[in-house]
Amino acid sequence: ILVWNTFGECENVAVFRGHKGAVTELCFTFEGERMLTSSVDKTVGLWDYETGVRVRNFKGHTNYVNACAISGRGTQLGVSASDDGTLKIWDLRSKQLANLTTSLHGSLRTCYVLKGLKRGVLGLECVP
């Protein structure tokens, strides 16, 4: 993952290494201290933005992870949506799976965390 400063000279300011495949999405915590990423390597990564260190590596999907999201301010939940038909909710502190939803229709392409809900997660699915 390359981070660019787009003001002025447009320079590369950071490189995050760890995924073994393309990164499909990334999002930041409300405070901006951590970053959650999803990848075609079937993992979800939690990164310390200041140090560039991958502090958590969430495994469990059996196919490409298409999307990720982080719950709002103060909560420590992340969510991932995969081609394996699952929506997984992760406890970002303990590295444990907090909840699992399985699709009846195949791949999950997008996931969102609803604003205003402390533990609310919505998975959206695109069925061919």
What's the start-to-end Cα distance of the chain, in Å? 30
- What type of residue sits at position 11? E
Is residue 97 predicted with pLDDT exceeding 70? yes
Domains in the chain, CATH or no CATH each? 2-127 (2.130.10.10)
pLDDT over 70 for what percent of the chain? 81
pLDDT at 18: 93
Tokens of 57: 């590596």
Give the integer Cα–Cα distance in Å for 15 and 35.
Answer: 13
Query: How would residue 41 be classed by pLDDT, with cut points 50, 70 and 90?
Result: very high
For 91, phi then psi, to 5°, come to -85, 110
- Averaged over 71-100, what is the pLDDT? 84
User: Is this model's pTM higher than 0.85 or not?
Assistant: no
Q: For the residues 55-76, what does the mean pLDDT come to?
A: 88
